[in-house]
Structure 1
Amino acid sequence: MPLSFARSTLVAASLALAPVVLTMVLPVPASAQAFSALRQSIAEAAAADEALVAFYRDRDFEPVWTVSEAADRRNALLRALEQAGAHGLPVARYETEALRAAFRDATNPWLRGQADVMASRIFLQYAQDVHGGFLDPSTIIPDIFQDQPHRDPYALMTEFLDSNPHQYMAQLPPQTPGYTRLMRTKFELEDLAANGGYGPTVQAGSLRPGDAGPAVVQLRNRLMRMGYLDRSATAEYDSTLQAAVVAFQTNHGITADGIAGEATIRAVNRSIEDHWNEIVLSMERHRWLNDGQVHDRLIFVNLTDFHTRVIDDGEVTFITRSVIGARDRQTPEFSDEMEHMVINPSWYVPRSIAQRSYIPGILAGRGTYMQLLAGGRPVNPASIDMSRYTVNNFPFDLRQPPGPRNALGTVKFMFPNRHAIYLHDTPEQHLMNSDVRAYSSGCIRLADPHEFAYHLLERQTDDPVGLFQGIRATGEETYVHLDVHIPVHLTYLTAWVESDGHIQFRNDIYGRNARLSQAVQALGVVMPEASS
């Protein structure tokens, strides 16, 4: 079975809500003059931050951290900062020890005011990071358009002051089971790394049942350390080792044939530090989706996994294979809401595709099944002098009418967005048989589009199959609106943990995690005591 090491003490310590009592005695102002000086210090320290100025101004520049009754508030903040590493956050940016010193040394009104505003700044930085992510991904990778759920600073401060501080800090990170499982796995990998990691890599290009020798022992030992194999002394590639290889392949998106070929050996030889980095990036991506709302239904497209899922009340209720954008036409990451489906759709050909694949043939006089449109109206190609045009100044749009040859198949699923990305059927269903399914121009093609439609429609009709197939039989392009719009996430998780504890890893097909990892590590987020 996959990696599952007991570390309950550390997990419990990191997730517990009980406060750590910090002994610090903060001075009480001795006079109205001193209090006026305190207010002046707060006003000066907050001056560069508009949100903090507004917050303190509305409180008449009274302190919120450096008063005796704020002990729980200070303890909650300092405890959360101490545990920031558990969330894979850049610990150094929160200046925990400097904040402790500022609290300790706040022996006059000016220093108290400086410490108070410092605590507010650090609180806001931590709260934003742990809630909505600490990276700005679009500045690193242009194809990430994820609107991060950054909270209003004024609201964060106000809510915190009006709440139990320990409970408030505990609810800032994503509260989803998937995030909690990733966090637990992060602890387990750290524990394993401190105790030798996965051991020596497998020194072989491939191995198969019946093989024996040192390379088989290396494979056996790494699978044991990863949790796929019980303790064993065999040096042969026997049926037990073969079953462990099948389980490993299944959890890594590799054809599960029980043969340790090149792809399997490469995956087995990945370091524990690599896996830790993937877990940390997945936790960060969970924070990008942490909108704080409870959704009873989600559509989740994981690009690295080539699958589309429907998640109802936290459980996967539908899954289908998918094709994503090719490496030179990558599918972007973003979130939106599915509003409707179109049965028997037309395909309005994007200009880039038209210039690359269709317009040259039209200009050369070859026949086309595409309809030419001018101002949205059909025109007869025979009436046009094509010699007047080039690929770049071709003035007509192209439309492929509904039918068996339509590139969108029989149905498309729309969540209108500026990227012109949607989910749809495809006449090229043979592409679903590949392990790596990156062939499209950016949209998501589905292996089971009809079943997907039935699943979405079952909440608004007693006969989703009859409704869908009845419309399909007409051959007419028909819009079917969803009574309740469904959030859609196009994301890029190379690591996640199933509800049964199985850790899943996938390849970084677009190379996005490699670039994000560089940014994360530049901020000091690295695995402690890493070992291969």
Structure 2
Amino acid sequence: MFSAHFPTGAFPRRLLSFAWPATLIASFALSASGAMAPAAANPFSSFSDSGPMTAKDRERLREEREAMATRFAPAYEMKVPFVSEAAIQSLQQAITRYRAIVASGGWPKISQEKTLRPGDTDRNVLTLRKHLAIEGDIPRDSRSPKFDQKLVEGLARFQIRNGLKVTGFVDRRTARVLNVPAEERLRQLETNLERVQELMKLNKAKRYVLVNVPGYTLNAVEDGGLALSSRVIVGRPDRATPLIDTRIVEVNFYPTWRVPDSVARKDLIPTIRKDPAYFNRENFNVMPGWGREPLDPAQVNWSAADVTKYKFRQDPGPNNALGIVRLNMPNKHAVYMHDTPLKDLFGQSTRAFSSGCVRVQRVIDLVAWLVSAQKGWDAARVHEAAQAGESIDVRLRPAVPVHFVYLTAWAQGNGAVQFRPDIYGRDSGFAEGEVDDNAAIAAQRSAITP
């Protein structure tokens, strides 16, 4: 097992005696008996600057990076609700740790002028190693100036904790997050502790759903415990998901999408003007008003200014933007939760892609939990309804409270502390965050959706 203290002279003296959580320290222990899985091979060992990599090499590296992320991710999954006594205690412990870090001078800044890759030997590697050791992502006796496998894995842990794509190397986005000062991280923890404490009143309800918007995560909470957790997709900064408190009153299988006027004006009509076949391909209808008979799209003058006065709906089906289920939750913002046909987007680290509504990855599991109190409904019937292809509305009695909240930092019982970008600027006054896309993901992000 590695030493429980920083190497002499390597780190601020006041941190030498700081007691790190034993469970966090243990997560980096190496077992001589082989009890723990051996370290995976360095997925960047064949990286070369001498020329472009082949498509096969790039695919192999992508798969190995994903495997590394999959291997580490379970240690960073919240086992309790975001709003719970356990979450508060973990935040308080994290604040104590980060106050000690701040009092000791924080961590050094890393250069953003160059990308650090595995195999590099550079003074910035020592700077990176020092930062990761201070936050607990690598053992404190790690002192090599080479970007070795131990550092690759420590950086992957840091990227997971900060909601970044696991790359195993330091790109500009990772460097910017590394350079967030310790003082700012401490303020972030203190701000979010206050938010969680204020939200504790939510636990008066036996069951409720909570969506942590910047955390891109949904909790289904029952009797104060975590019944279900799911990834979600939320509104992009220019169409932010509002923070609301309401109730889920109904589950709609195979819903019809009544396109909001703003989405029709900004997205749908411009798309149809560029690609008239899109209208029929995606099963849209156009009407002079709600409740009126659909018009023949071939007879509509799509170039006319008054076309924005028309109403649009999308019929149920595999291409419907709502997917196969919608959760009806009346509110003044007209937002709701729903399924989506664009499943690949759930694999992104940053998931602010929608027009304000919330897409739920485990929506069928969530529906099964929601209707479990309804007579005649269980998980098997939910799956039957999801496969039937018929529009069915299930009224929830009683309705289930739902809360959209804004938490950008939290901590776990094992000592891991997580931070997320302030995507709507509620912490700092300006929004932050960006997306790294490939062509397929970019196409899904640009799809017309709620």
Aligned: 1:215 with 2:115: no
Q: Which residue of 2 aligns with 1:431?
A: 345
Shift of 1:366: 4.5
CA spacing shift, 1:422–1:388, aligned 2, 3 Å: closer
Query: Between the two proteins, what is the percent identity of the paired residues?
Result: 30
User: Separation in 2 of the partners of 1:386 and 1:286?
Assistant: 52
Deviations 1:338-369 (A, max 9, x none): 22211010101101112233446779995633
Shift of 1:385: 7.3
Query: Residue 247 in 1 paired to residue 157 in 2?
Result: yes
Instruction: Report SS of the residue matched to 1:304.
Output: coil
Q: Where does 1:348-497 land on structure 2 (aligned, <5 Å)?
A: 348-359=258-269, 366=276, 368=279, 369-373=283-287, 376-382=290-296, 386=300, 390-392=304-306, 395-460=309-374, 464-497=378-411
Contact 1:355 1:392 in 2 (8 A): no
Contact 1:323 1:432 (8 Å CA) reproduced: yes
Show the counterpart of 1:331. 241
Partner of 2:59: none
Q: Any idea what the Cα deviations from partners look like across 1:250-292, whole Å, max 9, x if unmatched?
A: 1111223432332222222211111012112212322442436
Aligned partner of 2:420 in structure 1 is 506
State the distance in 2 between where 1:177 and 1:478 align. Answer: 39
Post-superposition CA distance 1:214-271 (Å, at most 9, x none): 2111111111111222222322222222222222111111223432332222222211
Counterparts of residues 251-270 of structure 1 (less than 5 Å): 251-270=161-180
Render the CA deviation track for 1:460-509: whole Å, top value 9, x for unaligned: 46863332233344433221122333222212211111233311101112
The alignment of Structure 1 onto Structure 2 pairs a total of residues equal to 350
Gaps of 5+ in 2: 3-14, 22-82, 432-450
Which protein has the larger Cα radius of gyration, Structure 1 or Structure 2?
1
Supply the AA of the counterpart residue of 2:183: E
Q: Does 1:187 align with 2:101?
A: no
Any idea what SS the aligned residue of 1:352 has? helix
CA distance in 2 between partners of 1:499 and 1:298 (Å): 23
- For the aligned residue pairs, the C-alpha RMSD in angstroms reads 3.3
Name whichever of 304-313 and 243-252 sits farther off.
304-313
Matched, 1:196 2:110: no
Q: Deviations over 1:196-223 (max 9, x none)?
A: 222x222353323222232111111111
Deviation at 1:192, TM superposition (A): 2.2
The 1:374/1:247 distance shift into structure 2, 3 A limit, reads same
Structure 1 match to 2:31: none
Q: Which residue of 1 aligns with 2:10?
A: none
Partner of 2:229: 319
AA aligned to 1:208 is R
CA separation of 1:465 and 1:202: change in aligned 2, threshold 3 A: same
Query: What is aligned with 1:283?
Result: 193
Distance 1:480 1:292, change over 3 A: closer
2:144 aligns to what SS in structure 1? coil
Q: Secondary structure at the match of 1:181?
A: helix
Question: What secondary structure, in the 3-state scheme, does the structure 1 residue paired with 2:238 have?
Answer: coil
Q: Distance in 1 between matches of 2:271 and 2:153?
A: 53
Q: Which amino acid aligns with 1:510?
A: Y
**Equivalent residue number for residue 308 of structure 1:** 218
Correspondence 1:347 to 2:257: yes
Amino acid at match of 1:328: D
Change (3 A) 1:499 1:415: farther
Q: Distance in 2 between matches of 1:328 and 1:208?
A: 34
Does the CA contact (< 8 Å) of 2:94 and 2:415 recur in 1?
A: no
